[in-house]
A and B are shown apart, each in its own frame.
Chain A
């Protein structure tokens, strides 16, 4: 198990989870989103191979209504 922070909330995930696995868990596959891992933007093509480790900080953002 690994403890990470997702959008400011502490969550526990299986060890050896990739970003892709995390997105699957939250129904975010194929949605218009972008990911930042510890302050660095991760391109979509790396989602499958980028594994998460203890204390990682992940931000998942999308578009919302705004002016």
Chain B
């Protein structure tokens, strides 16, 4: 049986999606993405630096024809800014598959779920396919799905914190109830965190800081690639039952 990862109508080879922020330079970004095996990357929309015409830009190093760009609304604190950003992203080259995040608090970067749900509804009506960054509240995750989200992206812990999966129970509840892919976004700190998320049954993970802020980002990108594959295989294989008594691996029969 083939294990295909599909978001909206896009088939993805890798269940690891990576961010393109926080790297030392564009060369490192491009190398880390290659090492990660990801075929989808998140990108932000910002003003062009008009003062420096010769400064390299992201698209000099990453070709949107070879790798799927997922425009995000990082840094938007209300629905109208998020909508404006994604409409501009669509104009740039027809991007309809987008990542929505509407933040509510500068210190925690926690999503404002009221604005997020509102925006999901509007964007879906406008023909966008919206992957949505959200809290790990199962009820709100369901609301997002009901309003047209094509993927639910609950946080593991606050953005860029590296604190890992803090609420496995809630993530599991969201996985169980969702008919669209569940992708853990934000807060993953190291490769094993991604494995645990995948073993829970997440459809994918999105990583930025844990790779970009590692001492050796390119090696960490490879570690995440393997971690996600391992976690997925482990989930599909189905773990053994936990028992509270020992069971020998070597038979007692024939013991000398």
What is the interface of chain A, defined by CB distance below 8 A to chain B? 6-9, 26-28, 31-36, 41, 43-44, 59-67
Bound-state CA distance A9–B160 (Å) is 31
A31-B59, A33-B92 given as contacts; is B19 within 8 A of A60 (CB)? no
Chain B interface helix/strand/loop/mixed: mixed
A5 to chain B, nearest CB (A): 11
How many residues of chain B have a CB within 8 Å of chain A? Answer: 39
Chain A, residue nearest B211 (CB)? A67
Say whether A8 contacts B47, CB under 8 Å: yes
* Chain A residues within 8 Å of B26, by CB: 65
Say whether B64 contacts A61, CB under 8 Å: no
Bound-state CA distance A65–B88 (Å) is 16
A24 to chain B, nearest CB (A): 11
A7-B50, A32-B93 given as contacts; is B57 within 8 A of A62 (CB)? yes
B66 to chain A, nearest CB (A): 14
Say whether A67 contacts B19, CB under 8 Å: yes
Chain A interface helix/strand/loop/mixed: strand
Bound-state CA distance A60–B42 (Å) is 20
* 26 cross-chain CB contacts under 8 A: A7-B50, A8-B47, A26-B50, A32-B92, A34-B92, A35-B91, A41-B87, A59-B47, A60-B48, A61-B47, A61-B88, A61-B92, A62-B48, A62-B58, A63-B45, A63-B69, A63-B71, A64-B45, A64-B57, A65-B20, A65-B22, A65-B43, A66-B19, A67-B42, A67-B159, A67-B186
What is the interface of chain B, defined by CB distance below 8 A to chain A? 19-23, 26, 29, 42-48, 50-51, 53-54, 57-59, 64, 69, 71-72, 74, 84, 87-89, 91-93, 159-160, 186, 206, 208-209
Beyond known contacts A59-B47, A66-B208, A67-B19: 14 more, CB 8 A cutoff: A27-B54, A32-B59, A33-B92, A34-B91, A36-B84, A36-B88, A43-B91, A61-B45, A62-B57, A63-B59, A65-B22, A65-B29, A65-B44, A67-B22
Say whether A62 contacts B93, CB under 8 Å: no
Chain A, residue nearest B29 (CB)? A65
Number of A-B contacts (CB under 8 A): 102
Chain B, residue nearest A63 (CB)? B43
B215 to chain A, nearest CB (A): 19
Say whether A32 contacts B64, CB under 8 Å: yes
Say whether B43 contacts A26, CB under 8 Å: no
Chain A, residue nearest B57 (CB)? A62
Say whether B88 contacts A66, CB under 8 Å: no
Chain A, residue nearest B185 (CB)? A67
Contact of A67 among B46, B51, B64, B74 (CB under 8 A): B74
Chain B, residue nearest A23 (CB)? B48
Say whether B57 contacts A31, CB under 8 Å: yes
B240 to chain A, nearest CB (A): 36
A61 to chain B, nearest CB (A): 5
